Structure formats: structure tokens, C-alpha cells
């Protein structure tokens, strides 16, 4: 293998190089069936090493030659750099000399310029004064001959001259120069009118550059403000052709904002004046037309229009905040809005409260009319309060009960309508009330809601429902008060949601918060007292109904049959009817209540149910088979008690079931049963009272077990 420098190019791997050399040497490997020849391979390696040494010497000589050449070129380059540095120093020295010379000449030129200006400025002033004197003489003579006054194309130069003459004329004494002052003033006025006319024509033609030139000339005239007025007036021509005046105003201001900076030197002032004109003329007129039409005749439409117009005006104001209107544009726009609506906002809350009162009264009256119901007055005062206190403590039916025919006199539709009206009132109050009056106004609206929803509707329904609850000894009484409870709970949730969602944000950071919370707490507590009273009396009626069932269906022979051998061991007919009635009432209570109230009422009902059955069983004597029948009845009552899902109620019936076992247990086992797990903690008198109900109490001498 020939040895060349290319073989050692990167990446170079020595092991691969040796392998490649051995592979190419005949006899150096197992290639083509040739036998391995180490001598030949050694010879090839020795020859190749010699070739590498020769190549190394050749490369070394080449490297030495290149190094010598590089050193030579480095010396030549260093010498050339030294020469360039010397020539650079010479050039820099020449530059410094030239710079000093230029500075000297410039100083001389500036000095000469100052001298020339000192001579020329007085000369120019003198020439200008001479021209002004010439023009003044023409006014003095009464004949304007100069081309600048007669040529309409030189109106700009004429305006400059007449403006200066006007200033001069004001300094002259009136008695000697009254005539010439009058002529100059007249010409001043004529030129001013011509410039404004020229500006108007240029605006109609859309020539922005000409408008800018004329506006710049008029800037020094007294009629400059009139020029701005003309511009504002012409901008609005054809701008308000659609029904939406607010959108038209926004588009107009957007268009003028792009143009006004190209025409006037004070664009923010002109734009502010345009906006002021729009608010005080267009918007004020539009608002007045929309509101005055309904102000006295239709309060609902008036309030809707006021809210809508005020909202759209404030939205327009927010859009205009993007423009440059000067330093305090927020205050500027607020004052404009206030100037439009101040007469309507001053008495807004009175209109709101008046409308809300009449609207709420109408909603309630329409509902009662649909029920053909004449609202009765709920009695107040000493006699009524005394009756109420007696009724609360005794549940006596003081006065005739009212038959409501199952009507609760609560309507979710009425409630939704009242809450919707109040919600809209809160929204208007938030938008239209002054921030300092907002909590106070919101409280007044809330008070109206409490009056009509809570007092006039819910409280009236509760009072009517209470009056409709029959006495506990009534037969086949229809109990509708639980329906009242169910609907009242639903309404309370809606009322509470509106309180949190719409009233709280308006009063959360004011002293009115505590006042509203207290008012809400008072009204809810007042309702809860009446609900509790009604539920208590309803439970009494339920127990009364169950008493009637037991009295009518339960016979003395049920528990003391004449033929002991011909008795079917099952529950009695009275038990079946009572359990059926109880299950219906439990289901009704679950539907009417929510949350923990369900368990509370069911517990109270279950305890009264247990007391009724306990006292009922104490009225009879029991034979052995009758005792078994009583146990079956109590087992059925206990199964019914499981529907209550109240641990206490189930425990009471478990204990009652254990007590009934005393009616059938053998006399010898009586003491053992009394000391059992369920009866051990009961008073001995209770156990004794149950044992006394047995027909064999005397014959079996059972009293000895309790002595």
C-alpha cells in the first residue's frame, strides 16, 4: 500500500490503519484461502515503517521551509505597519492644523453674520414699518390702491397686514383717528368674513391643506372661534341620519378625530368643543324627547328609557375617552353627562319607589282576583295578640277556622314577577344613583320587596294557612298547611338568592349592610315562628285524626277475644289504617320540608305517634292471645316507624315492643324479662303498669314481682 499524506487525514484511527495494511498484504490474513505468512507480514510492516520515516522527513522539511517563509513575511508586514503609523501621524497633524483654521474662519463668519443681522434687522423693521405706514396712509386717504388689498388671491398677505394695522389702530387716540380706525376695523371684519367663507368652502370641497392654511391665518383674528364653530357645524351635516344617535355620534367623533389634527393647531380643544356641542344640543334634545313623553303618564316606560339612555350615554363617554380632549377628560365628560340627566336623576328614586309600589300591588291584586279571593285584614292589636299567645300555648281554636279549600295563597309566578321587578330596580338603582346615595336607595328598594313579598304575600299566606288549620279533634280534616310550608321554603330560597346576588354588591361596603342583614333576619325569624306554630298545630291535627281512627276501628274484643282458640294472629284493622295514614303524612312531610327541618319535624311527629300508641294500648285488658295481637300491632307500628329514618323514634317503638312482651310472657319468666336489656333502664312503675293490663294479673298474683 502506497504511503501518502491523504491516508492520515482526520478522523485517523491507528487500529483501523494497521488492520487495513495487514488485510491488503498477501499472506497477512485469511483472505481468499491464502495461508497466513507472518514473515511476509513483518517484511511489509518494516518496509511500510521505512516509507513512513521517509515521508515524515519530507514533511518536516516542508514545514521548516514554510516557517521560514512565514517569519520573512511577518518581518515585512511589521515594517509596512510601522511605515503606515508614521504616515498616519503626519496626516493627523495636518488634520489638526486644518481644524484649527476652520474654527478660526467660522468664528469670523459668525461675527460677521451677527454684524450683518444687527444692521439688517432694524432695516427690515424699518421697511416693514414703512409698508405699514404706506398702507395706513391709504386708509387715511380713504382709497385702497395697493394690489394686496385689491387682489383676492393675496388675501393671506392682506390678512397679515390688516391684523397688524388693527393692533396699531387700537393704540391711536380716538378723537383724531376715529375715521381711520373705523375703516381699518371694517376692513378687518371684511377680511375675517372672507377667510371664514374661504374656510367653509374648502371644508365642503374637502381640501384639508387649504383649510389648514386659512385656519393658521385666522388663528390671530378674533373670529377664530367662529371658524371653529363653522367647522363643527359643517361636520355634523348629514351625520345624524340614522335612528341610533349615539352610534352616529361615536362615528362622527372618530372621523373628526383623524381630521382635526391636520387642520387646527389645537386639535384637542376643537374636538372637545365638538363633543360638548353634540352632548348639549343633539343628545340633550334626544333624551328630552324620549323621557318627557312618558314622564308623567307611564312610569315603567320612563324608567326603562332613563336607564337605557343613561347607559348608552355613559358607553359613548367611554368610547370618547380614547381621544385626546385635554388634561382632565374624565371630569369634562362627567360634567356633560350630568348636565343632560341632572333634572331626571334628582328625583329618580322617588319615581322608582312609586312605580315599584304600584306595580307590586297590582301583581298581588291580579293574583288574588284570579283566585276570586278578597284579602281579609289580619287583625292586630291587644285582643288579637292575646288570642295568638293563648293559641300558641294551648292550641285552642280561638275563633272559627277558615276553609281555604286547599289553596295556599302562595304563587311562585307572583314571586318571580316581584323578584324580577325588584332585580330591574336594583340594576337601575346601581346605574342611576349617585355613589353616595346608592346604599340608601338600595335599602329603600329592599324594604319595598320585604313589604310586598314577605309581608303582603308570604306572611298573609301563613296567617291564612294558620287560620285554616282545623282543631285537633276535627274529623276528616284536610291539612294544607304543609303545602304552604313547602312553597314558603322555595320562596325563601329565591328571596335569599336575590339578596346575595343583587343587593349585597350595592351595600357591601356601607353601614346599610348591617341594617339590611338585621331586617332580613327579623323577617325570617317572624316567618319561622309562624311556620313552627303551623307545623305544631298540623302535627296535633294528624295525631287527632289518628285518635279518631283508633277510636272508630279498635274494639275491646280485639285484645280480649271471647274464643281464644279462634283468633288469627295478625295486626288489627285499626293498626292497618293508622299505619297507612302515618305513611302518607311522613311522605308529605318529606316533600314539604328540606334540610334538617325534615328530621326535626319527623322526630316530633314520631314522638307524638309513639305517645299516642302508648296511651292507646294502656286503655285495654289483654288475654294471652290478645297480647300476641297487640305485639303484632306494635311490630307493624315499628315497621312504620322505620320509614321515619329517625333513630330515636325507632328506639321508642323497640322499647314499646319489648313492653308488649310483658303481656304474654309466662308469670315465672316475668322477672327475667323485666331485667332484660331493653327494659332494664325503664322505671318499675312503667313496667308494672303494663303488667297490670293482663287479665291474669290478679289470678297469677303478678304484683308480687314489683313489691
pLDDT along the chain (707 residues), means of 10: 58 78 71 68 84 88 91 90 90 88 85 71 57 55 55 56 60 59 62 77 84 76 77 82 84 86 84 88 89 87 93 91 80 90 91 94 92 73 50 50 69 93 94 92 94 92 88 75 89 93 91 92 93 92 92 85 66 91 93 89 95 93 88 94 94 92 87 84 87 86 79
Q: Which uninterrupted H or E stretch holds 306?
A: helix 299-320
The stretches of 433-511 forming alpha helices (DSSP H) are 438-449, 460-467, 481-498, 504-507
Q: Are 478 and 402 in contact (CB under 8 A)?
A: no
- Return the ∠ at Cα 289 (arms to 284 and 293), rounded to 5°: 140
- Return the ∠ at Cα 674 (arms to 668 and 676), rounded to 5°: 110
Phi, psi torsion values for 649, nearest 5 degrees: -65, -45
pLDDT at 382: 44
How would you classify residue 32: left for phi > 0, otherwise alpha for psi between -120 and 50, otherwise beta? left
Q: What are the extents of the domains in the chain?
A: 14-28+41-141, 147-237, 271-377, 405-553, 560-705
Q: Are 478 and 406 in contact (CB under 8 A)?
A: yes
Q: Are 192 and 223 in contact (CB under 8 A)?
A: yes
In this structure, the chain runs to a length of: 707
Phi, psi torsion values for 622, nearest 5 degrees: -125, 125
pLDDT at 32: 47
CA–CA separation, 693 vs 614, rounded Å? Answer: 13
Residue in the block written with cell 293482663? 694
Q: Are 624 and 664 in contact (CB under 8 A)?
A: yes
Got the DSSP string for 128-141?
HHHHHHHHHHHHHH
Cβ neighbours of residue 497 closer than 8 Å, sequence gap 6 or more: none
Phi, psi torsion values for 697, nearest 5 degrees: -60, -45
Joined grid coordinates for residue 164 = 397688524
CATH of 560-705, one of 1.20.58, 1.20.272, 2.60.40, 3.30.1490: 1.20.58
Amino acid at each position: 500500500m502506497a504511503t501518502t499524506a491523504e491516508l492520515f487525514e482526520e478522523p485517523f484511527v491507528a487500529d483501523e490503519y494497521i488492520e487495513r495494511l495487514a488485510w491488503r498484504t498477501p499472506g497477512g490474513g485469511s483472505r481468499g484461502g491464502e495461508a497466513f505468512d507472518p514473515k511476509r507480514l513483518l517484511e511489509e510492516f518494516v518496509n511500510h515503517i521505512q516509507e513512513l520515516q521517509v515521508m515524515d522527513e519530507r514533511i518536516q522539511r516542508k514545514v521548516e521551509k514554510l516557517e521560514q517563509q512565514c517569519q520573512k513575511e511577518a518581518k515585512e508586514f511589521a515594517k509596512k505597519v510601522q511605515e503606515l503609523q508614521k504616515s498616519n501621524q503626519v496626516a493627523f497633524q495636518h488634520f489638526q492644523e486644518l481644524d484649527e483654521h476652520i474654527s478660526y474662519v467660522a468664528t469670523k463668519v459668525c461675527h460677521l453674520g451677527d454684524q450683518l443681522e444687527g444692521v439688517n434687522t432694524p432695516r427690515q423693521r424699518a421697511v416693514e414699518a414703512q409698508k405699514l405706514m404706506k398702507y395706513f396712509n391709504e386708509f387715511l386717504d380713504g382709497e385702497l390702491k395697493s394690489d394686496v388689498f385689491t387682489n383676492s388671491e393675496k388675501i393671506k398677505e392682506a390678512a397679515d397686514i390688516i391684523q397688524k394695522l388693527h393692533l396699531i389702530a387700537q393704540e391711536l387716540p380716538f378723537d383724531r383717528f376715529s375715521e381711520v380706525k373705523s375703516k381699518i376695523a371694517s376692513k378687518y371684519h371684511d377680511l375675517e368674513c372672507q377667510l371664514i367663507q374661504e374656510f367653509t368652502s374648502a371644508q365642503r370641497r374637502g381640501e384639508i391643506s387649504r383649510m389648514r392654511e386659512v385656519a393658521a391665518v385666522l388663528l390671530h383674528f378674533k373670529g377664530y372661534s367662529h371658524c371653529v364653530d363653522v367647522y363643527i357645524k359643517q361636520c355634523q351635516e348629514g351625520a345624524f341620519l340614522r335612528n341610533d344617535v349615539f352610534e352616529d355620534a361615536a362615528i362622527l367623533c372618530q372621523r373628526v378625530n383623524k381630521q382635526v389634527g391636520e387642520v387646527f393647531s389645537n386639535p384637542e380643544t376643537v374636538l372637545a368643543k365638538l363633543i360638548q356641542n353634540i352632548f348639549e344640543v343633539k343628545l340633550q334634545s334626544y333624551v328630552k324627547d324620549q323621557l318627557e313623553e312618558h314622564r308623567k303618564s307611564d312610569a315603567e316606560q320612563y324608567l326603562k328609557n332613563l336607564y337605557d339612555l343613561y347607559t348608552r350615554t355613559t358607553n359613548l363617554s367611554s368610547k370618547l375617552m380614547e381621544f385626546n380632549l385635554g388634561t382632565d377628560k374624565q371630569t369634562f365628560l362627567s360634567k356633560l353627562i350630568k348636565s343632560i340627566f341632572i333634572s331626571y336623576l334628582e328625583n329618580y328614586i322617588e319615581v322608582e319607589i312609586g312605580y315599584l309600589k304600584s306595580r307590586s300591588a297590582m301583581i298581588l291584586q291580579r293574583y288574588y282576583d284570579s283566585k276570586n279571593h278578597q284579602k281579609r285584614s289580619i287583625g292586630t292589636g291587644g285582643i288579637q295578640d292575646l288570642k295568638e299567645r293563648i293559641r300558641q300555648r294551648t292550641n285552642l281554636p280561638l275563633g272559627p277556622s277558615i276553609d281555604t279549600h286547599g289553596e295556599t295563597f302562595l304563587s311562585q309566578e307572583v314571586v318571580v314577577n316581584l323578584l324580577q321587578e325588584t332585580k330591574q330596580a336594583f340594576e337601575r338603582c346601581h346605574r342611576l344613583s349617585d355613589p353616595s346615595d346608592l346604599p340608601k336607595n338600595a335599602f329603600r328598594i329592599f324594604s319595598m320587596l320585604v313589604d310586598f313579598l314577605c309581608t303582603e304575600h308570604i306572611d298573609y299566606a301563613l296567617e291564612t294557612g294558620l287560620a285554616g288549620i282545623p282543631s285537633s279533634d276535627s274529623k276528616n280534616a284536610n291539612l294544607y298547611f304543609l303545602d304552604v310550608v313547602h312553597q314558603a321554603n322555595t320562596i325563601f330560597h329565591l328571596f335569599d338568592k336575590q339578596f346575595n346576588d343583587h343587593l349585597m354588591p350595592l351595600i357591601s361596603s356601607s353601614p346599610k349592610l348591617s341594617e339590611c342583614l338585621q331586617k332580613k333576619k327579623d323577617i325570617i325569624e317572624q316567618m319561622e315562628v309562624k311556620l313552627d306554630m303551623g307545623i305544631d298545630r298540623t302535627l296535633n291535627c294528624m295525631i287527632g285524626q289518628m285518635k279518631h281512627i283508633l277510636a272508630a276501628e279498635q274494639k275491646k274484643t280485639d285484645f280480649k277475644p271471647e274464643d281464644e282458640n279462634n283468633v288469627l294472629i295478625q295486626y288489627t284493622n285499626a293498626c292497618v289504617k293508622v299505619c297507612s295514614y302515618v305513611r302518607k303524612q311522613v311522605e308529605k312531610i318529606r316533600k314539604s320540608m328540606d334540610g334538617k327541618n325534615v328530621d326535626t319535624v319527623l322526630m316530633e311527629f314520631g314522638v307524638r305517634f309513639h305517645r299516642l300508641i302508648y296511651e292507646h294500648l294502656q286503655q285495654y285488658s289483654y288475654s294471652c292471645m290478645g297480647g300476641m295481637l297487640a305485639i303484632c300491632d306494635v311490630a307493624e307500628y315499628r315497621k312504620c316507624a322505620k320509614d321515619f329514618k329517625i333513630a330515636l323514634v325507632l328506639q321508642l317503638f323497640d322499647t314499646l315492643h319489648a313492653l308488649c312482651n310483658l303481656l304474654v310472657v309466662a308469670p315465672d319468666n316475668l322477672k327475667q324479662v323485666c331485667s332484660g336489656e331493653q327494659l332494664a333502664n325503664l322505671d318499675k312503675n312503667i313496667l308494672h303498669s303494663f303488667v297490670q293490663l293482663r287479665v291474669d294479673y290478679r289470678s297469677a298474683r303478678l304484683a308480687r314481682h314489683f313489691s
